Structures are given as C-alpha cells and as structure tokens.
Amino acid sequence: MLVLGIESSCDETAAAVVRNGKEILSSVVASQIPFHEKYGGVVPEIASRKHLETMTPVIREALGTAGIPLHDIQGIAVTQGPGLVGSLLVGISVAKAIAYVCGLPMIGVNHLEGHISAVILENSVPEFPFIALVVSGGHTSLYEVKEWGRYRLLGATRDDAAGEAFDKVAKLLNLGYPGGGVIDRLSREGRADAFPFPRALNTKYSFDFSFSGLKTAVLNHLISRPSPPQRDEIPDIVASFQEAVVDVLVEKTFRAAESLDYHSIVVSGGVAANSRLRKKMQERGDREGIAILIPPSSLCTDNAAMIAAAGNHYLEKGCTSPLSLNALSRWPL
C-alpha cells in the first residue's frame, strides 16, 4: 500500500510517501524554525500561516521525489492531534481535499502514535509487547504497547515536557531556539557531574516525570553566581542539566520494562535525537539484555513518514476517518 503522510501539528510542514508502512520513498520536512526563533518559541498564528504557504509545495515535492503520481497513492494519513489546532487544520483540510477529489481512504493519526511508529521505518519491527517512551517538545510519556493501536499510559510529565525543559534552559542561557540540539552539542565538551541538579520523582512508586523543578534549579544556579557564566563555563552547566534529564528518562523507562518483565524498549520523539540519551539507553539495554529501538534522529523529530507508518496500520485493516474529521488539540493516547 502506498500512503501519503501529512504532518502539520506544530512548526514543521511535512509530507512523505511510504510503502507498506515501512519503506520511505520520500520524506520532506520544511522547518519553520527561522520564523519562530526570534520569539523564543512557536507562535501559533505564524505557524498556521506558514503551513498554508508551504503545504502544497511540500506535498508536491514528496510525490516528485518518490516518483509516485498522486493517482497511484492508495491512502492518506494525516495528523489529527494533539497539536496546535490552526496548524492541524491546514494538514487536515488538504488531506480531505485530496481524499475527496481522488476518492481515497483517509485516516486521522495521533501524533504520539506516529512517533512510536517511526521505529518500524528503519529498524526491524519491535517484538510485542514493548515499552515506549515518547519524549518530545510537548510530551514525555511512557506506554505499555501490546500491539499497534493498544496503548496503556504508565506515566507522563506532570509539568514541562523534557524537550520543553531543553528549550527553556537554552533560552535562559541565550542559546537560541529550539534548545535540544545545541545543548546536546555543547554538552559533549562539558562535565556531566559538574553540578548536582535534581532528579525529580525518581522513586520506585511513580512512572510520572517532572522537569520544571530542574529548569528552576538551573535558573537558581545562574542567579546565585556572582557573574553570568562565561562561554567556556556553559558546557558544564548544560551537560549537568542534560544528565539530570537523561538519568530520569533512562531509569524510569527501564523500571517500567522490569516491572512488566518486557524485553524491548522503543524511544522516540524529538528528544530521542539526543546523543547522550541514545548512548545511555543502549548501554543499559546491552547490560540488561533489553532490546533498544530508537529511530534515526531525522525520524525522531517531527516528520510525515511516521504519520504514514502509523496510518498504514489502520488503512490496511480498512479503518478510515470520515470527511467530517476535526482537529484535536488534546488527544491522549
């Protein structure tokens, strides 16, 4: 089955053509970062306007690169939520228009299910059941996955998402937006044990996360210094912050796997592009005999191939959404 995936939940306009939910024929991502950067975060109104301008060229490029004419596409998968409603509506409207004109089945996809499904695009299929950690700019959630479509939420952040914490700490240090990639790079030159930042809720009894206290701890550290940190002092600060985030993510994810006696862990979402998180997950997986599956970094951050992969699970079973499909700003998985 050839599926056209469409993603516009936040600040990436993306389209992809994926064969049988696995093989990426094309994946085009147009980032809006340059338009939001100066505001230090995503401005919803700008996001929806940019999606509107970019969506058609991006879809055209995805079809062109794949070498697949629109009339050969067999289904459309579009992000229905969670996300910014104005942005989601752009993707949904174009998906509906194509589905109606070409008489194609269409399915609305949960963005978080998309992140988890990214793993099947390049990796081998994980063995069910498995634990999934979705860690992005808007979410930090742990799931038990029995099969595609059957998810049980084990825990989630009570305040900031991990990616949000990266972005806020980067903002405190004037490192630009988004902060994850730059903190990842700078941390390689820093000492991860330079500052003992807190590991919140790191108890046996909870699979929930909390990152706002950590962000405040970094702020308090900056305030308590006699002078702002020099350029060469920043790597130690961000490496210590990153280590605190990674430690908690790794610890809780493995604890979830141990408590359910599962032997596969999938990690995805933008923060799963983090090199330290990938390394520590892999090392512990090797030690404990647990398979760790993390999509390549380009498939961890928002893209439409993952939406096509998730939609394929449903479309191949004949499940479709009606043309009355609406955007959902919140949609728990």
Return the SS3 of 188: coil
CA distance 151 to 139: 15
Judged by CB under 6 A, which stretch of 98-106, 122-130, 132-140, 199-207 contacts ligand KG4?
132-140
16 binds, among ligand KG4, Zn ion, none (CB under 5 to 8 A by kind): none
Nearer to Zn ion, 136 or 264 (CB): 136
Taking the complex as a whole, the smallest distance from the CB of residue 275 to ligand KG4 amounts, in Å, to 7
Q: Please, what is the minimum distance in Å from the beta carbon of residue 20 to ligand KG4?
A: 24
User: Is the CB of residue 72 less than 8 Å from the CB of residue 2?
Assistant: yes
Is residue 36 within 8 Å of 47, Cβ to Cβ? yes
Question: Does 179 sit near ligand KG4 (CB under 6 A)?
Answer: yes
Q: Does 295 bind ligand KG4 (CB under 6 A)?
A: no
249 binds ligand KG4 per the rule CB under 6 A: no
What is the CB neighbour count within 10 angstroms for residue 33? 12
Report CA 202 to chain centroid distance, whole Å.
23
The stretch near ligand KG4 (CB under 6 A) out of 133-141, 189-197, 222-230, 314-322 is 133-141
Which C-beta is closer to ligand KG4: that of 104 or that of 186? 186
Number of residues that this document lists for the chain? 333
**Is 273 near ligand KG4 (CB under 6 A)?**
yes
Residues in contact with Zn ion by CB under 5 A are 136, 302
Q: Using the minimum distance from each CB to Zn ion, give the nearer residue, 244 or 307.
A: 307
316, 22 contact by CB (below 8 A): no
Smallest gap from residue 115 Cβ to ligand KG4 (A):
6
Sign of CA dihedral 212, 217, 219, 220: positive
Give the C-alpha distances (Å, rounded to integers) separating 286 from 131, 264, 279, 291, 332.
16, 11, 11, 8, 32
Minimal distance, residue 136 CB to Zn ion, in Å: 4
Q: Which residues pair with 4 in a beta bridge?
A: 17, 76
Which runs of consecutive H residues, i.e. helices, occur in the chain? Answer: 33-36, 44-66, 85-102, 111-117, 119-122, 162-172, 180-187, 212-224, 234-260, 275-288, 297-300, 305-315
Establish if 184 lies at the interface with ligand KG4 (CB under 6 A): yes
Question: Which residue, 54 or 136, has its beta carbon nearer to ligand KG4?
Answer: 136
Binding piece for ligand KG4, criterion CB under 6 A, among 67-75, 174-182, 197-205, 215-223: 174-182
- CB 72, min distance to ligand KG4, A: 29
Q: Report if residue 190 touches ligand KG4, rule: CB under 6 A.
A: no
Contact 329, 9 (CB under 8 A): no
Return the residue of 5, 21, 105, 270 that touches ligand KG4, per CB under 6 A.
270
Number of residues that bind ligand KG4 (CB under 6 A): 19
Task: Kindly list the residues in this chain that would bind ligand KG4 in the complex (CB under 6 A).
Answer: 10, 136-138, 163, 166-167, 178-181, 184, 269-271, 273-274, 301-302
